[in-house]
Structure 1
């Protein structure tokens, strides 16, 4: 029988071996990083370490302990969301974060933020970061090079003005129904931020269902419709997949966990199969129309995507023999359809969720936006305004979105690397040669909040900063960002989000519909004054974590009230 010492030795050997390997890898990466000629921050863990990703949420409370701050902050992929521009005040506008897994170059420079994202051939999206989004197949977000170009050519026609009109009409209808349902159920009682998040998610889901797939639902109970041959509705399957995206990614990359969570894995698989079946049916239906010589009259994304793909197939057949296919496979179509829904769902639902608390605690901003809404929507029925006439005039409503995305945009940082040959980064008079496959992290939240560009009110929510007057017409218009900086919540350059206007139209439609009839106040909290309840609401908002996009940690601790104007 082995002694306790022998057992301990067997346990210690692999631990010591792993530790030694990590120390060696850290030393190698540090030696390489010194050649960059920029400040270096050394951390023993990183966002690439699965064990650390799981442990990090429980260790955040120790961030202020001397010696642990850098480890806890830079060891997680959301460090830019937590600290914004502050690390750059300490370490400079460009510095290296060195861990056993990799070297990451952190950059806070508006010019580089645009330049790197614009030169997509040189600076590519690192597959280790973006392949996690290949849930149903390669897609326009995860791919690089010629494959990305092929996807982009097919995807662009899907986001057309005809689709934006559908988004406007459905968003207005859903927002009007949402408030009516809430008022009927609660007689004007408050909604916690957890409930507000659910309401905004439901609106986003229903708009995606209509604009993406041509399926209309009522706000209250719209997920119940189950067609023959299915076990759940399309909206319910999509909702489940989007809200469990992180869990699905973990199970995909760590297969052993499927045995640890068998029931959850079975449910995830069932929902995935349902969504796949729905998409294949929609693709086949629209493909049959197009191949039969017809054209779908629908404005939804699936119809437009299939039409564009079939046109690409015809072009390929007519091209010279041996030319590369320029259409998409069914797996790629599925991949694009899912990623469009993920991006649209997260961006708009989050922007709405984070805007409402700001409005509830800023009566002057509500009055300011209300002036515009009353003028533009005067005499129109709630939820029934005309897109072409109304959307371009609601610039103050759009300014709300811009300011919320400036502070709480969907992407706090974005990664790129170069492949094959070294690339150079220039900040001011300093030029840094970046080795191939070295992560370059563009700190979006720093670019959006650094006081050097945004002034002393850089962290204040002030939508008025986005409004200026057109000198030719005298009308209000969206102002450019301050001199010296940029605004990139939808990325920049050729890889800018194709659904940018989709999200803007949806946001403005919902906000204008809500504020036409109602104003917002902080939800009353026991033992607190109205001012204290407002402060608690903003405190809950600012205590956010990163799960794909920002999420409030304690959304049940505060809320808002809709009050009839």
Structure 2
């Protein structure tokens, strides 16, 4: 009996201790938040905690079946900023503080303040803890600051070249054409695999951009059958890369929590988690082999290709020989080690795959809900492409397709895969000024520039700020050539970040997305499949609503993309 009491006491003491510790931390952080002087809203769960990142989808899913949980779901479902958009700042103010047990988060919903923060790189550094999940292979461009960041950035700047973007353009045209054939001829109808298919598309393009190897588009089921039929001894490196990186991206949070070795060696973990541990090792091996091959080619005086591995390795070798100047006293400080090259390539893969795949899924869902915009971009595509053979479409066409760019802009404005630009005050308190008032932000406070709010404020974007309307980015003219589109990065619109942190691979993603639109919509259209008793107009409204029902996992994505049923057909031009 006494043993049972001890067990019962232990089981009740641990939760009680957790609750008391949480309340203590919350009270301490609330006192710090009050010192700032901004409006405060309290959250009892830290949104970026690893356990909440893993289990929040399950908790929220269960909560949807319980009474009186609407407010809980609204506040605690990750990615709430994407659903609330500017409305939260209307309620709490352009600047406000979210107080949680794990720390305070100052939310920024004002362009002038955001611009000031982004320019003060020494005062507001990146919140490296928020990016720690990307340290699978060690420090990299996304997880360093100061001189180390400059080292990575300097090499990255010469890694993403126009020749690489041209490679991406050609591969994206080919992959999108093959994806269209899959949707038209082989996919199960109606098509409910939008998010899966755009990820495979992006993985294939990335495999070509990294390794300069091209692979046919295949659906998820086809991919699974191919994997089962191929032994590990005969599996090709690029397919191995594609499969391993897909596993890593899907399981990145467990990898961060447990680590590569524990995932591989712990028999008690689910098989899918163990597979993730092996995927981490496999990717390292694939990239290491490629680095060694490229260094041998350099030693033998062979010319390089346009892929990212070649560019990154050669940039480091050029730095070693002194052809790249640095601000440091010795050239050697700018050279990346082999492990750093692997880590940077992983970050490029992460940044270039999921963000682009999610954006393309958003774009296609929105276009399915807006048939008139499909006709609008098709007219431009046909104007600049004399033939349906995509192999004849020169890379210069990419910059001419302004309406396709406008579709990309507008989708990123409303549904960006990255919903916050995260900064930190560091070891010292920092001052920010807003509408004549000065606020002192304590040391080690996270500051988040709220992109969904900034991108939908009616006073900046108009009364239709929540409507998906790509035409807002185009200044119309009588001729396609005379239409004007604004720059891709300004102080009030920065889907590829801003200032010194602008994404080095933005041209990569732009070429990929514009090419996909051009290949898909020159001669074809997509539409929703209505549910029973639903008109096409009602189906379009439903698809639009579902495409903008966003949840944050690692990135912000459609919560239930599998519920969007689509069908493609040949257009009557």
- Provide structure 2 residue ranges, at least 5 long, that are not aligned to the other structure: none
Between stretches 404-413 and 522-531, larger displacement belongs to: 522-531
Which of 462, 468, 474 is 2:469 aligned to? 462
Shift of 1:71: 5.6
Q: Which residue of 1 aligns with 2:492?
A: 486
Shift of 1:15: 2.8
Shift of 1:474: 6.9
Q: Which residue of 1 aligns with 2:459?
A: 452
Q: Which residue of 2 aligns with 1:113?
A: 114
CA deviations on 1:23-60 (whole Å, 9 max, x unpaired) are 22211111111110111112222124445445533337
1:44·1:71 contact (CA, 8 Å) conserved in 2?
no
Q: How far, CA to CA, are the matches of 1:44 and 1:518 in structure 2?
A: 49
Shift of 1:146: 0.8
Q: How far, CA to CA, are the matches of 1:268 and 1:64 in structure 2?
A: 32
Quick one: structure 1 residues 190 and 21, their matched pair in 2 at CA, closer, same or farther if it must change by over 3 Å?
closer
Shift of 1:68: 6.7
Quick one: structure 1 residues 254 and 96, their matched pair in 2 at CA, closer, same or farther if it must change by over 3 Å?
same
TM-score, with structure 1 as normaliser: 0.90
CA deviations on 1:509-531 (whole Å, 9 max, x unpaired) are 11011111201221243332222
Q: Which residue of 2 aligns with 1:544?
A: 550
Quick one: structure 1 residues 431 and 292, their matched pair in 2 at CA, closer, same or farther if it must change by over 3 Å?
farther
Q: Which residue of 1 aligns with 2:25?
A: 25
Which of 262, 277, 285 is 1:269 aligned to? 277
Q: How far, CA to CA, are the matches of 1:464 and 1:61 in structure 2?
A: 40
Q: Which residue of 2 aligns with 1:163?
A: 164
Q: Which residue of 1 aligns with 2:173?
A: 172
Once the two structures are superposed, the pairs formed by residues 58-77 of structure 1 within 5 Å of their partners are 58-59=59-60, 72-75=73-76, 77=78
Q: Which residue of 2 aligns with 1:377?
A: 385
CA deviations on 1:323-372 (whole Å, 9 max, x unpaired) are 76211111110111011111111122112111112112212211211221
Q: How far, CA to CA, are the matches of 1:210 and 1:306 in structure 2?
A: 16
Q: Which residue of 2 aligns with 1:308?
A: 315
CA deviations on 1:253-309 (whole Å, 9 max, x unpaired) are 24688554252233112222221111011111111122334431x111110100001
Quick one: structure 1 residues 301 and 67, their matched pair in 2 at CA, closer, same or farther if it must change by over 3 Å?
same
Q: Could you say what secondary structure the match of 2:136 adopts? A: coil
Shift of 1:7: 4.1
Once the two structures are superposed, the pairs formed by residues 34-73 of structure 1 within 5 Å of their partners are 34-57=34-57, 58-59=59-60, 72-73=73-74
1:227·1:233 contact (CA, 8 Å) conserved in 2?
no
CA deviations on 1:97-156 (whole Å, 9 max, x unpaired) are 112211111110122333323333321112221111112221111211111110011111
Quick one: structure 1 residues 242 and 150, their matched pair in 2 at CA, closer, same or farther if it must change by over 3 Å?
same
What value does the CA root-mean-square deviation take over the aligned residues? 3.2
Quick one: structure 1 residues 236 and 353, their matched pair in 2 at CA, closer, same or farther if it must change by over 3 Å?
farther
2:78·2:553 contact (CA, 8 Å) conserved in 1?
no
Q: Could you say what secondary structure the match of 1:35 adopts? A: helix
Q: How far, CA to CA, are the matches of 2:434 and 2:66 in structure 1?
A: 32
Shift of 1:464: 0.3
Q: Could you say what secondary structure the match of 2:421 adopts? A: strand
2:169·2:395 contact (CA, 8 Å) conserved in 1?
yes
Quick one: structure 1 residues 66 and 82, their matched pair in 2 at CA, closer, same or farther if it must change by over 3 Å?
farther
Q: How far, CA to CA, are the matches of 1:227 and 1:263 in structure 2?
A: 18
Q: Which residue of 2 aligns with 1:553?
A: 559
Shift of 1:61: 8.0
Between stretches 8-17 and 269-278, larger displacement belongs to: 8-17
TM-score, with structure 2 as normaliser: 0.89
1:45·1:71 contact (CA, 8 Å) conserved in 2?
no
- Provide structure 1 residue ranges, at least 5 long, that are not aligned to the other structure: none
Between stretches 96-105 and 237-246, larger displacement belongs to: 237-246
Once the two structures are superposed, the pairs formed by residues 86-105 of structure 1 within 5 Å of their partners are 86-105=87-106
Q: Could you say what secondary structure the match of 2:138 adopts? A: coil
Matched, 1:247 2:251: yes
Quick one: structure 1 residues 76 and 199, their matched pair in 2 at CA, closer, same or farther if it must change by over 3 Å?
closer
CA deviations on 1:449-470 (whole Å, 9 max, x unpaired) are 1112111111111000011269
Between stretches 150-159 and 70-79, larger displacement belongs to: 70-79
Q: How far, CA to CA, are the matches of 1:116 and 1:227 in structure 2?
A: 52
Q: Which residue of 1 aligns with 2:417?
A: 410
Q: Which residue of 1 aligns with 2:347?
A: 339
1:533·1:558 contact (CA, 8 Å) conserved in 2?
no
Which of 209, 212, 215 is 1:211 aligned to? 209
2:79·2:556 contact (CA, 8 Å) conserved in 1?
no
